[in-house]
Each structure stands twice: as C-alpha cells, then as structure tokens.
Amino acid sequence: MRPRRVLLNLAALGVLAVSVFPVYWMVLTAFKPTTDILSETPTFWPAHPTLEHFTTAVGTPGFWTFWGNSLSITVGAVLLALVVALLAAFAVARMRWRGRRAFILMVFIAQMAPWEALLVSMYIVARDTGMLDKLSMLTLIYFMTTLPFTIVTLRGFIAAIPPELEEAAQMDGCSRTAAFRRVVLPLLAPGLMSTSLFGFITAWNEFAFANALIIKNQADRTLPVWLSSFSNVFGTDWGATMAAATLFMLPVLAIFLVLQRRVTSGLIAGAVKG
Amino acid sequence: MSPVPAAPQATRPRPRTPEATPPPRPPRRFRPADLWPYLLIAPTLAGTAYLLVYPLVRSVVISFQHFRLGELIRGGAAFVGFDNYAEVLGGAEFWTVVRRTLVWTAVNVVLITLISTLVALMLPRLGRWMRLAVMSGMVLTWATPVLAATTIFQWLFQSRLGVVNWLLVTLGFDSFKDYTWFADGNSTFAILVALVVWQSVPFAALTLYAGLTTVPTELYESARIDGASGWQIFRSVTFPILRPLFGLIVSLEVIWVFKCFAQIWAISKGGPDEATTTLPVYAFQIAQSLHKYDLGSAVSTLTVLILIAVLITHLRRMLKHEGEQA
C-alpha cells in the first residue's frame, strides 16, 4: 500500500506542476528585472521583483483603449445574452405552445454551430450590413455565441423551481411578472451567475472574429488581438509581453477565484446537460 | 412523481424531468396571452436569423458563386454551380489539409481523453489537500485565456531564453541548445498539440471526476468483494456507467479541436510550410489573404460536412435524446 501512495502523490504533483507552471512562469517573468530574464540560467523565484514591465505594458499607446473595447464588448454581450435568454428560457420551461419542441431543437443545434466555419461569410455579412469594423458587431456575435448555452442552462434552472411557488405568489395577489421577479429571479441567481461568467470568459477571450472583422480601425482592436501581435508591439521584450498577458488574464482569474465552486459546478452542470 | 402512466404518455415514454408533467392545456379559444411565448422567443429568433442562419446560408450561396474581390466590392456575383467544389476537391492541397486536420483532431482528442481519464481516476484516491491543490491548479489552467496561453507557450519554447530549452539542455539533451521550435513544421505542430491538450484537460478531467462521484460506492465494493482488479472494475463498472459522459466529452473535444482556430492562427498562422494549416485555418487563408471568398466558403461548407460525418452517431443520439426530453 505504501509505495502506491507515494506514486499516486508523485503523479498528483506532476499534474499540479504541469497545470500551474506556465501561468507561474508568466507572472514570474512579468515581475523579473530584465537582466534576470536575459540571464542564461533562469531563476525560479522573484529575487528582485519589479513593476517596470507593467509600467511598460500599461504605457503602450492604446493599451487603455483596447482594455476599454474588450470590457465594453464583453459586458454588453453578457447583459444582452442574459436578458434575451431569460425570456426564451422562461417561455420554454414554463409555457406550452406550438413550435416549442422545434425551438428547443434549434437552440441545441445553434449550440453546436461551427462558428469558426462562418468567419468568411460573417465578414461578408458584416460588410453588407454596414457592420464591418464596428465593435457593436462583435458584441452581437459574442451575444449569439453564448446565447444557446445560456438558454439551455437557465431553462434547466427555471424548470427546477417548482411552479407552485409562483402560483402561490400569484394567489397572494402578485401579477405573473411580479411573481417571476420576486420568486423565480432570486432562485435563479446561481444560474444567472454561472451563465454570465461563462459568457464573460467566452467574449473576453474571443480572438477569431475580433481578428477578422476589425480591420481598418486599429484603435478598435480588442485585447486578444492586440496581445497576439505582441512581437510587433514589444519586440523581444518578454517581460512586458508577460505583464500584458498577466493583465489580460487578471479579470478572468478574479472571476474564477471569487466564484470558483459555482463556476465549475455551473459549467459542468451546463456542459453535461448540453 | 407518480409511477402510474397517464393515458397520453403511454405511447411515448418520457424521462422523469421536472418538465415531464405539463401544466394543464389552456382552452382552445385564442387569447392574446397565447402570443406571450412567441414574444418571449422573438429576440432569440431575430439574433439567430441575423447572426447564424443568414451567414450560414450566405456561406453556402457564395460557395456556388464566382465571388472574388471584384464581386465583394461591386456585387453581382454569378452562379457557377459546383465549379468551386470541383476546384477545391480536385486540388491535392485540400486533401493534404483534410488528412492533417484528421490527424490533428485524433492526436489531440486521444491525448485529452487519456490524460483526463487518468487524472479523474486519480483525484478521488488523493488526500483532501492534495486533491484540492490539483483541482485548483486545473481551474487555473482552465481560467487561462487562449491568447494568454499562446503567448506563454511562445515564451516557454523561445529558442535562446525559453525555459523548456534550458530544461532539456540541463537534462543532457544538448541538441536543444538555442533550438528554434517554431521554425520547424513538426515541432510547431507538437507545441500546438501540447497547448491544446494543456488547455482542454481541466474541463474533461473535472467533468469526468464529477461524473465519477455519482457512481454509487456500493458498486465498487461489491465488485471488489467479487475479486475484480482495478482495471476490471474500470472496464465493467465505471466505464459502462459513465459511457454517456465519455461520449459527450469525446464529442465536445472533437468539435473543439477540429474547428480550433485561435491558437493556430496566433502562434503560426498555419505555418511554417503549411505544417499547421487545418481546415478552418485553410478556409480563412484562402478568403482573407487570397480574396477567394468563393473557395473559402466552399472549404467552410466542406469542413462542416466532414465534422458532421465524424460526429454523426453522436449527433443522432443527442438529437433523439433531446427530442424526447422536449
């Protein structure tokens, strides 16, 4: 029994190291003085931490613009998806109507939509409808890519709330909307949370469409696209590149840390259902 | 839930979901309230129409047209039947890309499934703190944005200052001194595989682990009492119970890996020497840099068809399942 335990823990340490090291290395490089980065033998501990790379990254022309672009697109897409999905999920989970089954199938198919295969035609569609080089087009696309998942997840959450609760509220004199707002909505909070986090992460990270649809106006680029061209921006300044990557990762990491349990269980529940 | 089947349900059994008992049907007479569900789904339908159906239809239409830079600017594209498909399918390059995409998908999905199964089986056997540490580490990986990860991997595998080369040289592989990974097709391919596997394992492993915890422990106990070995228990208890979950994960990974674009484009743009050009990258290259939107659309359509062919059994099962649930 003894050697097996040791082996198991060694394997666990291996998995842990492989998971954590790349991210650790990014943060470490971001805090290392340039002389340490350029040294032949790497150091694995921040002996002389410095903020100079962060200053360089933040001071790059346009940094705050790209940051703002990413943030506004992401928040817009998440809010839009939440509202639209909530309406549809309620109709699916709580009402009987002709075409409901077909609608659910459509949502499931949309969830598997091959977005990467639509890069070319989305470019043409955006061009034809006057949406090329517009940040609002990216908001709409991210809204649409996260919408099916949000509907499916929220539908599950709404279906899990007994209709009797709403009926009781309506019996006590609430209107249907008020019953929804006061009874269902608070119970939906975990579902809203996990879907909006999923949406946030998807939109914040998206690269392909942002890369293909924002062409002329370089000030309208998003953070991922900007980061992908780091060698043009920073040259071989790996410290600044890693500082920029760290800053880009920070919001996502904050979300994961604050709501870790909920994110993972929510995403897993959604994924298993979907 | 009542075990007595209601009359209309006898013909079509439904799974026991909270939705299985429908609310009483409203009276047949039309009421304005009947419009509510349609108003509620209208925004979803509008979004789907503009951002999914329209581009999809447009893509298929363009693939049957002569649509180059001139048509993009002036309009008035002429239909050419299957000419674009003939041109794409007739070229050797397309088939090389298809083969590469299938290899890319197979290698990644096999590695992801294997590693995440092992990790998922390992997790319940660990002590509490170790398990928490490994799971937190994987959540950290999972949380790493794709573009941050591509940047990190480029730094890890940097030729002169990269820590991977330093490690390999320290371990005695002197040929890796200043080795330029991204100059060679195969090594770039390998790095992309490492990157995608690294990013995908957490989701698969944590999902499988969540599934494992739902397997009743009595089953393991009785199997162990019957003298089954660890592998036998996995093969005849764990795997059959988790088969749907495995099916789901493999299918999701196939989809994600097959249509993977951002990682490849950000690191190599399909190069060097086309060694990492998979179908989505190929379609984008043709359209974006060569302005052959018609051929790009044809490749996109073929990509979707190939993906559907790869996944047909899974799709059929899933749609049937969801159809029953709905």
Model pLDDT, residue A184: 82
- Locate B239 and state its tokens: 């795997």
Give the chain A residue whose CA is nearest to the CA of B44. Answer: A84
Same domain, residue pair A219 and A269: yes
* In a shared domain, residues A73 and A105: yes
Please report residues of A whose CB lies closer than 8 A to that of B40. Answer: 87-88, 90-91, 95
Same domain, A120 and A15: no
Q: Do B245 and A211 touch (CB under 8 A)?
A: no
Q: What is the pLDDT of residues B299-315, one digit of tens each?
A: 999 998 988 888 887 77
Q: Are A185 and A179 in contact (CB under 8 A)?
A: no
Domain limits, chain B = 79-325
Distance from CA of B297 to the nearest CA of A (A): 7
Residue written as tokens 């990682």? B263
In Å, what is the CA distance from B67 to each residue of A116, A221, B63, B209, B279?
Answer: 20, 27, 8, 49, 20
Looking at the fold, whether A108 and A218 belong to one and the same domain comes out as yes
Nearest-5° Cα angle at A57, A54 to A63: 130
Cβ separation A12–B130 shorter than 8 A? yes
CA distance B221 to A42: 49
In a domain, A223, yes or no: yes
Model confidence over A234-254: pLDDT tens digits? Answer: 777 899 999 999 999 998 888
- Shared domain for A235 and A111, answered yes or no, is yes
pLDDT bucket at B197, cuts 50 / 70 / 90: very high
Q: Which CATH architecture has domain B79-325?
A: Orthogonal Bundle (1.10)
Backbone angles phi, psi at B79, to 5 degrees: -75, 140
Q: How many domains does chain A have?
A: 2
Judged against a pLDDT cut of 50, whether residue B281 lies above it is answered with yes
Q: How far is CA B16 from the centre of its chain?
A: 29
We report the CATH number of the domain holding residue A131 as: 1.10.3720.10
Domain of residue A222 covers 61-273
ipTM score: 0.84
Segment B223-230 mean pLDDT: 83
A20/A65 same-domain check: no
What is the model's pLDDT at position A140?
A: 95
pLDDT for A270: 46
pLDDT-derived band at B322 (thresholds 50, 70, 90) equals: low
Same domain, A2 and A85: no
Query: Is A177 found in the same domain as A83?
Result: yes
Same domain flag for A163 and A262? yes
Q: List, in sequence order, the alpha helices (H) in chain B.
A: 36-48, 54-63, 69-74, 83-90, 92-122, 128-143, 146-156, 163-170, 185-212, 217-225, 230-233, 239-258, 262-267, 279-290, 293-325
A152 and A100 fall within a common domain: yes
Q: Calculate helix-pair angle for A2-31, B146-156, nearest 10 degrees.
A: 90
Residue A35 and residue A131 in one domain = no
Q: Give a three-class secondary structure readout of chain A.
A: CHHHHHHHHHHHHHHHHHHHHHHHHHHHHHHCCHHHHCCCCCCCCCCCCCCHHHHHHHHCCCHHHHHHHHHHHHHHHHHHHHHHHHHHHHHHHHCCCCCHHHHHHHHHHHHCCCHHHHHHHHHHHHHHCCCCCCHHHHHHHHHHHHHHHHHHHHHHHHHHCCHHHHHHHHHCCCCHHHHHHHHHHHHHHHHHHHHHHHHHHHHHHCCHHHHHHCCCCHHHCCHHHHHHCHHHHHCCCHHHHHHHHHHHHHHHHHHHHHCHHHHHHHHHHHHHHC
Q: Does position B28 have pLDDT exceeding 80, yes or no?
A: no
**Span B167-175, mean pLDDT?**
90
Q: How confident is the model at residue B226 (pLDDT cuts 50, 70, 90)?
A: confident
d(CA B268, CA B274): 9
Best to test chain A binding among B105, B140, B245, B252 (most A CBs inside 10 Å)? B140
Print pLDDT tens along chain A (274 aa): 578 888 999 999 999 999 999 999 999 999 999 888 888 788 888 888 889 999 998 988 888 999 999 999 999 999 999 999 999 999 998 888 899 999 999 998 888 788 888 998 999 999 889 888 889 999 999 999 999 999 998 998 888 888 888 888 888 888 878 888 888 888 888 888 888 888 898 899 999 999 999 888 888 889 999 988 887 777 778 999 999 999 999 988 888 777 666 555 554 454 443 3
**Any domain includes A56:** no
- Cβ-in-10-Å burial (0-12, 13-18, 19+) of A263 comes to buried
Task: Report DSSP state, residue B176.
Answer: G
CA distances from B5 to A145, B11, B16, B18, B171 (A): 39, 10, 11, 15, 68
Q: Find the CB nearest A116 among B122, B153, B259.
A: B259
B interface mutation test: which of A15, A35, A86 has the most B CBs within 10 A? A15
- Give the pLDDT confidence score for residue A261 in this predicted structure: 61
Tell whether A88 is within 8 A of chain B (Cβ). Answer: yes
Q: In this structure, are A8 and A100 located in the same domain? A: no
Q: Does A18 touch chain B (CB under 8 A)?
A: yes
Q: Measure CB to CB from residue B17 to each of A9, A16, A159 and give the nearest one.
A: A159
